[in-house]
Structure formats: C-alpha cells, structure tokens
Chain A
Amino acid sequence: MDARVTEPRIARDFDKYVDERLDEGVFRVHLDTFRDPELFELEMEYIWEKTWIFLGHDAQIPEANDFVTTQIGRQPVILQRGDDGVVRAFLNHCTHRGPRLCKTQRGNTSRHTCPYHGWMFDSQGKCLMVTDEDAGGYSDTFKAMSHDLHQIARLESHRGFYWGSLTSDVPTLAEYLGDATVFIDAWIDQSPNELEWVKGDANFTYDGNWKMVLENCLDLYHAKTLHASFGNAVLNRFKNMGEDERKAINLDDFVNATANVSYYNFENGHGALWIHNQSNQEDRPSYAMYQEMEARVGSKRAEMMLSGKVAEIFPSILFVESATFQMRMIRPISVDKTEVYAFCLAPKGEPAEARALRIRQYEDFFSTSGLATPDDTAVYRAAQEGHQARVLEWNQGYHRGIEQLQQGPDEKAKEMGFNPTLSIHGSIAMQSEAVYIGPYREWLKKMKTGQDNALAKL
C-alpha cells in the first residue's frame, strides 16, 4: 500500500515523454525525464516503490544475523538473515520514533537497539522490548499493536538473488523476471556450486540521472570512443607481452567488427545483449572451468555462459560482463545524482589463478580508478549538464538498429529456447540503441498506471 497522504495532484500526460513511432523509424525520449525534479519524485513513487527492486545476494549474508543495508527507491531497507536462517527485509526504521537502526553498510547483529529510547528488536524483526513499558501508562490500543519492525510487502529470491517490493500488487518474481532468467542463470550456472561474493566494492556516485547508467550498460556504441584508452592499453598489452601474460579482453571485435550481437527486450522492461563468436574467449577467467561447464550444460549453453553479455533487470540492477563480470545496483539519490553499488560475484571453486585474473580484469575496467568506468562516470555528468539546454526537448540518441528490430526471438534465442518480446541481431558494428525501447515502454507503463491508481484514490 502507498502510505502517502493523498493530496490533489495535476495529471501528467506521460505519452509526451516517450515518442515511439516505429513505423516511421522514430524512437525518442524527452529530456525532461533526465532533468525534471518533480518527474523524479513521481518515478520514485510510480516505479521504484511499485515494483521489484534488487536488494542483495545470499553470498553477502551467508551467516545467521548477517545483514546489508540498501534502499528501495530512497526508502531505507535492511536485508538480514535471521537467527533462524530465514532472510527477511525490513524498513530500516524504529517503530517508535523512526531512527535508522542499522547505520552500517553491512554487519552481523542479533539485536537492533534504537539509540534514541532503547526499543530493541531481534534479527527476525520482532520487538523484544519497549523500554519501561510497564510504567509507561500505555493505552490498551497501544498494547494490542505489533511493535515489530515493518517487513516489506514482498521478498523473493531467484537462486540467491533477492528482490523486494514495497507493494504486494506485483506479479511473482518468477513472472516478473520471465525469460530474462536465461541470462541471470548464465552467470549462476558457471559453477555447479553457484556464485560467491568477491569482496572489494567498486561503488561510484555520479552527478547524473539514474537512467544514464541503465542505458550505458546496454550501449556498445560508446566503447570505441569513450573507452579508447582502455582499448589502447589492451592493444599495447597484446603488442608487448607474450600470450600468457596479456590476459585481457581485447577490443578487436569492435575495431574489426568480427563478432555478431543480439539485443533483446523482455516483458516488464528488461533488456539484454549477447555477443557471439568473440575472439580470445580463452582469456576470460571462466574459461578455466569451461570443460566442466560444457560437460554439465552442453556446448551451446556453455558458449553463452562464457560470452560477453549484459542483462538489465528494470529498474534497479545490471548484470554486466564486459571485461569481466560485475553487478551494479542503481540507487537514485536525486534527479541529478545517483549512487551505483557495484560488486564482484564469481563462481565458487574457481582455481586461484583464474580468480586472481578475474580480480585484475575487474579492477582494469570497473574500479573507481580503473581504465574505463571513470570515463563513464565523467560522461554521465557531462550529459546531465548538457541536458540543462532546456530549449531542447529531444536527443537523437535511440535510432541505431531501429531497422533491424524484429518481433519475438531471433535465431540465437530460438536455439536457446527463450522468448524475448523484441530482438535485434546484427554485426557488432551496428551497436544498436533500439534496445532501450523495452525499458522505456515499461517506464511509460509504470508511470501511467501509477498515476491512474494515485488519482483513483482521490
């Protein structure tokens, strides 16, 4: 349920923000979606607080009483494994007068004690103590209330990946993720023992709208330009070093357009890309376990598991395998400020040498001072500043690949047996931007539905 006090509001015509005329070859998004602070507030209410938001992974809270703190939109959330082993999600808010109970990013505690008046809760969220309750002169109505921490409306896991929702009015997580799980599972299945958390965050905060990082992760078009210095460093490594030493993902695939790529949209705003027949796959850390993978899941699936690929699960989480694999949780702060909580997951049982290679490749590309991610961060800020040109309503940003759009699955999806709503297949040189159609259709749908429901309450 939405707990906001209901006040009159002016209805917006959200159709004005997404201009989809595919028969005319046009797909545009209004720049106000990146720069209007009021629209940002509505996005929090109509999108982030009305759908499944990624909260964390089992591997971050392996022991009883382990917790991580996160947000749904901007609402503070604790994801904790109780002393009974069950994972729950609570609002990080003392029932009494509201202070945040967990102040750290992560930790382990069997008791949450509010520093203000001393109310105490266990790791299952149950209120253990209302300080000086007997002498408190409380009414019977108060005594009949539950004082337990507020559990969020829905919490479900897909194989150790937890999503939560502040409203119960959502489909099951399985329905929500749909066939996008084919991508998520392509990482989970890399080890028969699933994934573990490699510590050492690569978080970054940028002066730009939350949708910029969402778009960026599905964008191959920027690689050659924005990541030229990463590409050059890698080419130098290939020139100067022996085969055993170079161990980096080269960008020949981009320069020489030797690879093909499929882009997909799924129901509920999810997007993905999958690079086929990439060169030097043997330099990926997961190659160390390739034979085992192939024997377990077959060669086609194993090849997909090893490939460069990205899955965007709308609106909160990005699974990115460029140089290597990274999870990126999006945390919007304001219309022009976003925090990305980024961490490394890796197959359990990976040989030590492959693990060290994975960590170095991760730092190469993704670190806050790596050879690539800082350039992204800088360009988000530049774009946010450019978008202040309010004379302008539209970018020309989403037209690449629009002629290659097809309804339903492409051949690669058919081979793997999954069903996207839209596919785009072509040379890597196409570097399609039409993949954003799915996420923005969902944006539009959520904004309209959210507004309809809010107005209906008046």
Chain B
Amino acid sequence: MTQQEAEQFLFAEVGLLDKRDYQGWRDLFAAEGVYWVPVNDTEADPQLNCSVIYAGAAQLDDRLERATSSYFWADQPAIKSVHTVSNVSVVAGKNTDEITLLANQVVYLFRDNDQRRDQGLEILPASSEYRLNRIDQSWRIGLKKLNFLQADGYLPLLPAFV
C-alpha cells in the first residue's frame, strides 16, 4: 500500500463517519475486525481492563442497530462530526496481505439544531492505529484503535462510532 493509498483509505473511512453512513463504515470491517477505544492507559490489555469501546462483530452490530434506531436518546439532536487525519505512516505487516497504518486524528463534534445554541464544540485529538487485512483484493479493517488524548479525562457524549 502506497502512502497515497493509505491516506485515501483513511480519508474515505472517516468520511463515512462524517456522513453518518454507519452501515457503509461497518462494512469496512473484516469478519474478525475489532473497533477499540481504550480508556486511561491506552496500552492496557482489553481482556483484563475496561475500555470505552471494545467491539467485535456482535458489538459492532449492536452499535449499528443503536445508531440507526429512534431510541439513541444521547444522539438526539444528532451529533455531527468532522474528522481530520494527518501524520499518516505505513508500517509493513507480517505478510503482503496485512499492513498497519498509524495516523493522528482530530474529531470535532457538534449537535444539529440543539436548543442550547451556546453548546460547546467538542474537540477530541487522538492517535490511531489501523491493522488492515487484504481479503478478496480489497483492504478490510482488522483493528481500528483510537487513542483519545483525553482518554484519562473527561469524555463527552459520542456518536455511535467515532
């Protein structure tokens, strides 16, 4: 994967989140794919420590159901996002069908049509790590790990996927 292909992949991925095309975003994941947002210590083992999100296939589907239901009260009015991605680097994987991407991200969150017009803009800088697997000629997400700079502090209400 070239630098440009890596960047295009990440831009497209976060673009789906910003469009709230959560089904499209969910489809990027490999069957065994994991979406991980750690809390406090971003290096802690997720099998021994609680995370903000540690979602395999079942939990991704749960969150997708929630994202598209009319009962996601915390997302009413809807939380809009803008992601910027930078500092992308490509790290070779174990074989040609696996690759790791490292990137910095800033996620901006704001609610549409909130009655409180003075609501704050939430700004969430993060480092991120993606493990991609080539399956049937296309790259799928084996792991998306998002390490918020605020992982050890206050986190605002988030959309179903960030």
Contacts and interface: CB of A to CB of B under 8 A. Distances in A.
Say whether A and B bind each other: yes
Interface of A: 105, 198-205, 226, 228-230, 232-234, 236-237, 240-241, 245, 344, 352, 355-356, 359-360, 362-364, 367-369, 371, 374-375, 377-379, 385
B61 interface: yes
A367 B158 CA distance: 11
Nearest to A199: B49
B154 A205 contact: yes
Interface string B128-162: 00000000000000000000000010110110001
A360 B54 contact: yes
B44 A200 contact: yes
A267 B30 CA distance: 55
Given A232-B69, A236-B65, A368 B50 contact: no
A378 B157 contact: yes
Contact of B71 (A228, A362, A363): A228
B65 A364 contact: no
Contacts of A367: 39, 50-53
Contact of B72 (A229, A241, A368, A385): A229
A200 B62 contact: no
A369 B58 contact: no
Contact of B73 (A199, A226, A241): A226
B63 A371 contact: yes
Contacts of B49: 198-200, 359
Contacts of B51: 200, 359, 363, 367
Nearest to A379: B73
Contacts of B61: 236, 240
Contacts of B19: none
Contacts of B155: 204, 368-369
A345 to B, nearest CB: 11
Given A232-B69, A378-B73, A368 B52 contact: yes
B101 interface: no
Contacts of A344: 50
B74 A377 contact: yes
A359 B47 contact: yes
B69 A369 contact: no
A229 B69 contact: yes
Contacts of A375: 72-74
B65 A199 contact: no
B65 A229 contact: yes
Tell which of B49, B54, B73 has the most Cβ of chain A within 10 Å. B73
Contacts of B59: 360, 363-364
B121 interface: no
Contacts of A368: 39, 52, 155, 157-158
A353 B47 CA distance: 9
Given A205-B154, A233-B62, A385-B115, 5 more contacts: A204-B155, A228-B69, A359-B46, A359-B54, A367-B39
A297 B63 CA distance: 39
A383 to B, nearest CB: 12
B112 interface: no
B66 to A, nearest CB: 4
Contacts of B73: 226, 229, 375, 378-379
Contact of B40 (A199, A355, A356, A374): A199
Contacts of B63: 233, 371
